[in-house]
Chain A
């Protein structure tokens, strides 16, 4: 058999394999993508929370996208404490001013950044939150101070619709 002929045969087989592989990949994608959040989940509206009844120093927990969100009305002492912390003392340095638009209100996802448990309010060594699962301590700004969690608790997108209502998401 001549070399040219062998080459053409090789090319034909390579092309067939390549085109076949593209098809397999194209079929696999829908089977994978069907597990992603579907259109009705993605469309789920934002949550509006009336916070008029929250006393200073108290926190409420609301459900948003299936996760707890802590809304804490902080006292002047707690705000001062959060703002006095030196950046060098933080494993995940972040200013309190960047975390709370209105210093009185701290709105954050109540999910420990270690493995997803819900931390307890007013517990721990830093007057903030304490995660009972693996012992992570958060301060009054929800920042990680001690323990295995790698980052501060997450701040969701939110806005004040008026002075009483916070819209999360």
Chain B
């Protein structure tokens, strides 16, 4: 299934494929051998592709009506919501789509952490993924600025001011970012331009991400390499396609519920107030998906150090394949790592929670402890764990546990 040279049947197909091997590519994609024991946590790659395409399509249509000007942006968004045919639908899909995108990407990342998908030989997939994640954050942040509400304006002010922490040249950089002496019209138009550009960069990186994936092939819940492709894998189409499709539909039901029944619950009420440079809202919070990093930023009492800590919290992930010294990939066979994994999940949730709270008193203390633990997990626990941990015996091939897995799944569905 894997290495044979694909030859199109028809004459024209052959002629075409010799000049542009699209048919070879599509054949590779449909036949791509995928471990048959992938569970539903593996469907989020497909879901994320759906999210990206949804954001690009709805974004393009919104851009046909949106006006990137400080005096008109808020009004043009209201115009979209009121007058444009299905404008309200498209905008709510786009704004909630951002949240859904992050929800999916967090599950995708934490799946990778649990099953050790970032380890050799998949480091490149992981690093490209981190870059995609960084670009997603940039795109989401700039997109949130576009409606030019109070949270847009003050969020932009706070985040761009982070750069002023850079010694000597900070002030200059911030003014360069703004195109003026405060967040204003020049800032808005450049954010719109970049917000439009970044999704296409992400799209390109996604192609690389999948390319890098197709070199070693998928990791799997057992975390061991494929021994016998004929026994351990299934062709991507139709097996994985239909499974991804099923998971995607479940995801879309949740998505639709937000869009149609609580479209504003993930946003902030203040963003329906037009931007006013004279009045800061009493409580500035970023969107929920940025909260953990916001908490890390605020937990450090020094401006520069706070910014550095926040950036390191993301960049440290890129070094993860080398920080984790364990040869065993899947947490299934690492009893200790499994415990620490869930503590990390809890830690990030706590960071997200305190990020939404005022930075004072107990919240600040909790944020500091959680921040410290976040770094301890990656810098101390993971490297040591690889040497100290007593792992469980791993199976020789995935076929045997697959048998077990399937029988349990069947029992569950019968119940």
A and B touch in the complex (CB under 8 A): yes
Residues of A within 8 A of B (CB): 30-31, 33-36, 38-41
Whether B85 pairs with A30 at a CB distance below 8 angstroms is: yes
Q: Does B327 contact A (CB under 8 A)?
A: no
Q: Would you give the shortest CB distance from A47 to chain B, in whole angstroms?
A: 20
Task: Give 14 pairs: A residue, B residue, CB < 8 Å, sorted on A.
Answer: A30-B89, A31-B58, A31-B61, A31-B86, A31-B90, A34-B61, A34-B84, A34-B86, A34-B87, A34-B90, A35-B64, A40-B82, A40-B83, A41-B83
Instruction: Given A30-B89, A30-B90, answer yes or no on A38-B84 (Cβ-Cβ < 8 Å).
Output: yes
CB distance from A24 to the nearest CB of B (A): 12
Give 17 new A-B contacts, CB below 8 A, not counting A31-B61, A38-B85, A39-B85. A30-B85, A30-B89, A30-B90, A31-B57, A31-B90, A33-B85, A34-B86, A34-B90, A35-B61, A35-B64, A38-B83, A38-B84, A38-B87, A39-B84, A40-B79, A40-B83, A41-B83
Instruction: Point out the residues of chain B lying under 8 angstroms from A35, CB to CB.
Output: 61, 64
Verify A34–B65 contact, CB threshold 8 A. Answer: yes
Residue of chain A at shortest CB distance from B238: A13
Q: Give 1 or 0 for each of B31-67: 1 = CB within 8 Å of chain A CB.
A: 0000000000000000000000000011001001100
> Which residues of the other chain, A, contact B86 by a CB distance below 8 angstroms?
30-31, 33-34
Are B64 and A34 touching (Cβ within 8 A)?
A: yes
Interface of A is mostly: helix
What is the distance, in angstroms, from A44's C-beta to the closest C-beta of chain B?
Answer: 11
- Which residue of chain A is the closest to B89 with respect to CB atoms? A30
**Given the complex, which residues of B lie within 8 Å of A36, measured CB to CB?**
85
A34 close to B83 (CB less than 8 A): no
Task: List B88-145 residues whose CB lies under 8 Å from chain A.
Answer: 89-90
**How long is the Cα–Cα vector from A145 to B268 in the complex, in angstroms?**
63
For B79, what are the chain A residues with a Cβ–Cβ distance below 8 Å?
38, 40
Chain A positions within 8 Å of B87 at CB level:
34, 38
Closest chain-A Cβ to B151's Cβ sits at a distance in Å of: 26
Q: How far apart sit A33 and B89, CA to CA, in the bound complex (Å)?
A: 12
How many angstroms from the CA of A51 to the CA of B82 in the assembled complex? 36
* Identity of the chain B residue whose Cβ is nearest the Cβ of A36 in the assembled complex: B85
B90: chain A residues at CB < 8 Å are 30-31, 34
User: Which of A34, A35, A36 has the most chain B CB atoms inside 10 A of its CB?
Assistant: A34
Closest CB-CB distance, B297 to chain A, in whole Å?
Answer: 38
How many angstroms between the C-alpha atoms of A35 and B85 in the bound complex? 8
Instruction: Kindly state the separation between the CA atoms of A38 and B86 in the bound complex, as whole angstroms.
Output: 9
What's the Cα separation between A33 and B87 when bound, in Å?
A: 9
Q: In the complex, A31→B86 CA distance in Å?
A: 8
Contacts of A30 in B (CB 8 A): 85-86, 89-90
Q: Report the minimum CB–CB distance from B89 to chain A (whole Å).
A: 6
Minimum Cβ distance to chain A for residue B222 (Å): 31
User: A35 CA to B84 CA in the complex, in Å?
Assistant: 8
Minimum distance in angstroms from B52 CB to a CB of chain A: 16
Q: Which 3 A-B pairs have the closest CB atoms?
A: A30-B86, A39-B83, A40-B83
The chain B residue sitting closest to A28, CB to CB, is B57
> Complex: how many Å from CA A9 to CA B82?
46
Shortest Cβ distance from residue A13 to the other chain B in the assembled complex, whole angstroms: 10
Minimal Cβ-Cβ distance residue in A for B242 = A16
With the chains together, A38 CA to B65 CA distance in Å?
10
CA A39 to CA B88, docked complex, whole Å: 13
Determine if A39 and B82 form an interchain contact, defined as CB atoms under 8 angstroms apart.
yes
Cα-based distance from A106 to B83 in the complex (angstroms): 35
What CA separation (Å) do A39 and B87 show in the bound complex?
Answer: 11
How far is A30 from B58 in the complex, measured between Cα atoms in Å?
Answer: 10
* Most A C-beta atoms less than 10 A away, residue of B65, B82, B83: B83
Q: Shortest distance in angstroms between B243's beta carbon and chain A's nearest beta carbon?
A: 14
CB-CB nearest in chain A for B85: A33
How distant is B60 from chain A, measured CB to nearest CB, in Å?
A: 9
**Residues of A close to B57: CB separation below 8 A:** 31
In the complex, which residue of chain B has the Cβ closest to the Cβ of A43?
Answer: B83
Of B58, B82, B86, chain A has the most CB atoms within 10 Å of the CB of B86
Of B61, B85, B86, most A-chain CB atoms within 10 Å: B85
| B239 CB, min distance to chain A CBs, angstroms | 14
Q: Which residue of A lies closest to B252 (CB)?
A: A23
Q: Write the nearest CB–CB distance from B309 to chain A, whole angstroms.
A: 42
Complex Cα gap A41–B65 (Å): 13
Inter-chain CA distance A36–B65, complex, in Å, is 11
Cα-based distance from A38 to B80 in the complex (angstroms)? 9
CB-CB < 8 A to A41: which residues of B? 83
Quote the shortest CB–CB distance from A5 to chain B (angstroms). 18
Which residues of chain A have C-beta atoms less than 8 A from B58's C-beta? 31
Report the Cα distance A34→B64, complex, angstroms.
9
In the assembled complex, the CB of B258 is this many whole angstroms from the nearest CB of chain A, namely 16
Q: How far is the CA of A40 from the CA of B84 in the complex (A)?
A: 8
Determine the chain B residues whose CB is within 8 A of the CB of A39 once the complex forms.
82-85
Min CB gap B204→A, angstroms? 23
On chain B, the residues within 8 Å of A34 by CB distance are 61, 64-65, 84-87, 90
Kindly provide the distance from the CB of A41 to the nearest chain B CB, expressed in whole angstroms.
8
Question: Which residues of chain A are within 8 angstroms of B82 by Cβ–Cβ distance?
Answer: 39-40
Tell me the minimal C-beta distance from A152 to chain B in angstroms.
32
Alpha-carbon separation in the docked complex, A57 to B85 (Å) = 44
Q: How far is the CB of A21 from chain B (nearest CB, A)?
A: 13
| B129 vs chain A, min Cβ distance (A) | 28
